[in-house]
Structure 1
Amino acid sequence: MTPPVRLELVGIGKRFGAVVANDSIDLRLRPGEIHAVLGENGAGKSTLMLLLYGVLQPDSGSIVWEGREVSVSDPGTARRLGIGMVFQHFSLLRTLSVRQNLQLAYPDLDEQRLAQVLGDFDLRIELDVRVGLLSPGEMQRVEILRCLLQDMKLLILDEPTSVLTPAEVEQLVAILRKLAQRGCSVLFITHKLDEARALCREATVLRGGRVAGRLELAGSSDADITRLMLGGEPPPAQLARAAAPPGATALQLRGICAQLPGQRRGRLENIDLSLASGEILGIAGVSGSGQEALAAVVAGEIRPSAGSLWLDGEDLGRSGVRQRRRRGIRVLPVDRLHHAAAAGLTLDENYLLSHYDDAACHSGPWLHWGRVAALATQLIQDAAVRAPSAAAQARQLSGGNLQKFLVGRELAGAPRVLVCYNPTWGVDPGAQANIHAALAAARNAGMAILLLSEDTEELYRLCDRLGALCDGRLSPQLPTAEVDRDLLGQWMTGAGGSSPQRSGACA
């Protein structure tokens, strides 16, 4: 007997002006099936899920739910049908606590049910902490928790593991399998093929808004899947390193102690770090280990309580953000929509945010918008950003395309030091390859790059030296060839007796 079909999408189409986001999409999903949806950024995956969840309305086609054609007019209708969704970009109210955000979705919040789900996930979420004080990984866990409190028949997950640690990914895999065993269907949007293989038997691949293929994951190689996603050959596995050894020390931190305002986990304790011209120094660490604080200290957004920061032998401890940017320090934060970019501004306006002091953007003392637009347009072309024009708002771009734009924006003008925090979070293999190639080229040209990442594959692929943060303490930083995965794991967890280079605690 053929198993029943829970969800069937028939000929789904969606346009945004001249842009075709979805073109005659067909998809079927059965009870208890975990189905992967793969595709590069801009392929139409998120648009399709927003149509299914009622955030957007299709221009053509039909949604058949448990044998009956339905109109999902809004997210409330989706939830009443039993559909839940975890968004890639957080939809939490940052001024409210975790508990208050949950109560917005569930006014009669069942505390017993809440405790049960927290226990199943081992999420360890502080319910009375303001969401704006959480790290990206913690915010993602709140999104997952909010969705799991619902009695679901279908769970949509849009890049749910982008900011999760390996242990948290394992916990997520376990709960999804448990949900599937109870008959809940799952649509799992990801760029990580190993995760898709671990969870899913089949995958639908989208490219250019159309279904490029539906395949059995067990019988398909990574290269075959990537080729289907990109419409061409997959990116190279390794990047060429600079032939010349690193140059003189560009950035140096000595005994830095710092604390992110209002956060208990965002601290740094006695950080010693040296970064040379022409090298990429990678710092691993699970979310909340101190990466955000380290990026903020280098940027000048927070002032350390102890220690000093030097650029090319000059103490910059008293300089602010603008002074450091003028001296050649650029920082790309992890939160691209709320920190690295202004979502409601156009791309040329976002370009100006980082280049307002550049002579190329002015005519004498006056800002020259024509030049700004031309520079932003050239960046869009050079970085292979898919955008209608420089007049498009940042929020209109897919995550990968916005990230390519932001990386290119910070690389423009060849800064002395670039700090990147999770630069390829939530982007597809093609966008990731473009960003990695841009960073490697900048390193080879003599730039000093500090790469803070929770993606160990990215670190091993790009970095000349590796270290790790754990609870605000920094491990030694050794040549990448000398750091095997066991040692890096010990540094990341504080196991094996790893310790910071300086002893003692910050005052």
Structure 2
Amino acid sequence: MSTAAPSPAALDITGLGKSFGAVRALDDVRLTVAAGTVHCVLGENGAGKSTLCHVIGGSLAPDSGALTLYGEPYAPRRPADALAAGIAMVHQHFSLVPTLTVGENLRLLRLRDLPGRLARVREEYGLALDLDARVSALPVGVRQRVEIVKALLREPRLLLLDEPTGVLGAPEVEALLATCRRIADAGRAVVLVTHKLGEVARAGDAATVLRGGRVAGGGPLAELPPDRLVPLMIGRPAQDLDTSLAETIGLAAAGPAPARTGGVEGAAPPVLRLRELTVRRPDGSYALQDVTLDVGAGEVVGVAGVEGNGQSELMAVLGGSLAPDGGCLELAGRDLTRAAPRERTRAGLGVVPEDRHHEGCVPALSVAENLFLGRLGEFRRAGVFLDRAALHRAAAEVMSAHGIRAAGPTAPMSSLSGGNQQKAVMARELGLDPLRCLAAAQPTRGLDVGAVDAVHTRVRQAARAGAGVLLVSSELGELLALCDRVAVAYRGRLLGPVDPREPGARDRIAHLMLGTAAPAHEAGDAAAPQSPDDAPPVPLPSKDPR
């Protein structure tokens, strides 16, 4: 009786090594991705995940090791070789041309029958695009969708996804995971780099954990539940994770939730006051409509919402890159509505934008220069010369305190992994003196488990020190665990607020986010609005009404 020979693995890697100077990014990495599976790659920021993807994708050459693709030797020297072999990659950082439309970006691929391929992707995966929209005007989540469509248009037999869900809302995440499943079920393979263990459990067949550039463990996910993956990633049990951290990485609630700050007793007027902020798009529609919001000293206020409901514009107004058409912004009683970004920084307003790579840092500058952007004057000698030795010493201290992994303070920011870039941007804004208010959009996006824990701790510390915190996040569990109040962005307005501690808070926020009928309050309370479209914008005062 004859037995059919087993089909070759989609991708087989043996003894892979890669160094950057004295830094060993990959060390004897061994990995097998079976055809017809979704293989998840996990690990802390700087563990080598993105380097591994770049080697597979042809943009980096390994120093040692061998790769085979569906049984054939595979040694790409450039990304074009990977594409020719049937490998498509969605990078952490976007490769779109922002000044062009979506359609113009797709035409740069020079694919035959582009309309037909677009129709197949839309029909098979439910990924529709506005081809006439200019990329620079798109929310980050929509830009990520364009990148994913670009990869799928090539009909790859191996799809590499490097942290693809960090900028997507919950419905888009579910659609992407379903897409991964369909690709695998069609006999092809997916390598999914992610920090979300919930995504791993829902979409993955097998996993490999990297730590310090080496394989720490892995195998079929049927044998690796999340509580076994966490120790491989961070070296401590899943049971030690508090509720906010567990929910952010996609685990069920583990340990108890830390106490909220609740604001400062007897606080002065709110540190951040937004009054009737209005931003109109070029077509005349509202990106922000009469947004009114107070953030008190020592208070953490959250903003939830599906991507594209005004959160990006709100953060742009706070950061000073977008001037509102109406309304005002005050920090500690000072009008900053028309102030330049540097003036806002000096006033004590820290802003962490949602797109850390393009808006939060200058990739060509060093890590040290990025950590002290807007404050380099503190390191001048004789008022003219930059004291680089002092700058680098100060940067090294910040890097150590925040766990920023890099070759050193002089390393270019572009050499850092996406998660370490996020750590650096957070460290810079948290280091403002004084820090009166921190406005952070998606602060844990792309961060590993330990780094998420550190960010949550530092947000709480900033609030306890008297700073106000405005937290814009797509992670509802994160908002419920960290915030004193949660507003909901819907069609350019802020609805709410919702007290995270009230019964049914999660369901009420979810209804407001989706624009469906909100559940009524418990008996004795006034009825909730039946629809966000019928509800007027609700001012969100701080705890001190003064």
Does residue 447 (structure 1) correspond to residue 467 (structure 2)? The answer is yes
1:394 match? 413
Farther-moved stretch of structure 1 (363-372 vs 400-409)? 363-372
Specify the code of the residue in structure 1 equivalent to 2:476.
T
1:362 to 380, 388, 391: 380
Cα pair 1:193 1:222 within 8 Å, conserved: yes
* Per-residue CA distance 1:371-403 (angstroms, 9 max, x = gap): 322222211111111122110111111112121
Q: Which stretches in structure 1 are left out of the alignment for 5+ residues?
A: none
Q: For the residues of structure 1 that align with 2:366 and 2:83, how far apart are their CA atoms?
A: 33
Report % sequence identity: 39
Specify the code of the residue in structure 2 equivalent to 1:391.
T
Q: For the residues of structure 2 that align with 1:177 and 1:266, how far apart are their CA atoms?
A: 37
1:285 match? 305
* Per-residue CA distance 1:23-43 (angstroms, 9 max, x = gap): 111111222111111111111
Q: In the superposition, relative to structure 1, how do residues 250 and 286 fare at CA in structure 2: closer, same or farther (>3 Å)? A: same
Q: For the residues of structure 2 that align with 1:68 and 1:132, how far apart are their CA atoms?
A: 40
Q: Which stretches in structure 2 are left out of the alignment for 5+ residues?
A: 243-256, 518-530, 540-546
| 3-state SS of paired residue (1:36) | strand
Specify the code of the residue in structure 1 equivalent to 2:276.
G
1:324 to 344, 350, 372: 344
Does residue 472 (structure 1) correspond to residue 467 (structure 2)? The answer is no
* Equivalences, count: 500
Cα pair 1:385 1:405 within 8 Å, conserved: yes
Output aligned runs, 1:74-89, within 5 Å: 74-89=78-93
Does residue 127 (structure 1) correspond to residue 163 (structure 2)? The answer is no
Cα pair 1:103 1:109 within 8 Å, conserved: no
Farther-moved stretch of structure 1 (263-272 vs 183-192)? 263-272
The two structures, once aligned, show a CA RMSD in angstroms of 2.1
* Per-residue CA distance 1:148-204 (angstroms, 9 max, x = gap): 111221111111111111111221122222221211111111111111111112211
Specify the code of the residue in structure 2 equivalent to 1:127.
L
1:406 to 422, 425, 428: 425
Q: In the superposition, relative to structure 1, how do residues 233 and 9 fare at CA in structure 2: closer, same or farther (>3 Å)? A: same
* Per-residue CA distance 1:47-99 (angstroms, 9 max, x = gap): 11111111111111111122222221222111121111111111111122211
Q: For the residues of structure 2 that align with 1:263 and 1:431, how far apart are their CA atoms?
A: 40
Cα pair 2:369 2:376 within 8 Å, conserved: no
**TM-fit CA distance, 1:107:** 4.3
**TM-fit CA distance, 1:471:** 1.5
Q: For the residues of structure 2 that align with 1:365 and 1:45, how far apart are their CA atoms?
A: 43
2:509 to 481, 488, 493: 488
**TM-score of the superposition, structure 2-length normalised?**
0.87
1:381 match? 400
Output aligned runs, 1:303-318, within 5 Å: 303-318=323-338
Cα pair 1:270 1:502 within 8 Å, conserved: no
Q: For the residues of structure 2 that align with 1:155 and 1:265, how far apart are their CA atoms?
A: 38
* Per-residue CA distance 1:282-340 (angstroms, 9 max, x = gap): 10112211111111222332222222222233433343333322221121111111111
Q: In the superposition, relative to structure 1, how do residues 31 and 220 fare at CA in structure 2: closer, same or farther (>3 Å)? A: closer
Cα pair 1:354 1:409 within 8 Å, conserved: no
Farther-moved stretch of structure 1 (63-72 vs 268-277)? 63-72
* Per-residue CA distance 1:343-367 (angstroms, 9 max, x = gap): 010012112323245xx43345334
1:417 match? 437
Does residue 241 (structure 1) correspond to residue 246 (structure 2)? The answer is no
1:34 to 38, 54, 57: 38
Cα pair 1:256 1:306 within 8 Å, conserved: yes
Q: For the residues of structure 1 that align with 2:99 and 2:339, how far apart are their CA atoms?
A: 30
| 3-state SS of paired residue (2:337) | coil
**TM-fit CA distance, 1:225:** 0.8
2:272 to 226, 247, 251: 251
Output aligned runs, 1:182-193, within 5 Å: 182-193=186-197
**TM-fit CA distance, 1:233:** 4.3
Does residue 295 (structure 1) correspond to residue 295 (structure 2)? The answer is no
2:64 to 60, 65, 69: 60
**TM-fit CA distance, 1:11:** 0.8
* Per-residue CA distance 1:407-456 (angstroms, 9 max, x = gap): 11111124101110111111111111111111111111111010111111
Q: For the residues of structure 2 that align with 1:331 and 1:263, how far apart are their CA atoms?
A: 28
**TM-score of the superposition, structure 1-length normalised?**
0.93
| 3-state SS of paired residue (1:77) | helix
| 3-state SS of paired residue (1:480) | coil
Q: For the residues of structure 2 that align with 1:269 and 1:96, how far apart are their CA atoms?
A: 28
2:371 to 334, 351, 360: 351
Farther-moved stretch of structure 1 (186-195 vs 247-256)? 247-256
Q: For the residues of structure 2 that align with 1:318 and 1:152, how far apart are their CA atoms?
A: 48
**TM-fit CA distance, 1:236:** 2.9
**TM-fit CA distance, 1:211:** 0.8
Q: For the residues of structure 1 that align with 2:12 and 2:25, how far apart are their CA atoms?
A: 19
Specify the code of the residue in structure 2 equivalent to 1:236.
L
Specify the code of the residue in structure 1 equivalent to 2:116.
Q
**TM-fit CA distance, 1:264:** 7.8
2:457 to 437, 449, 457: 437
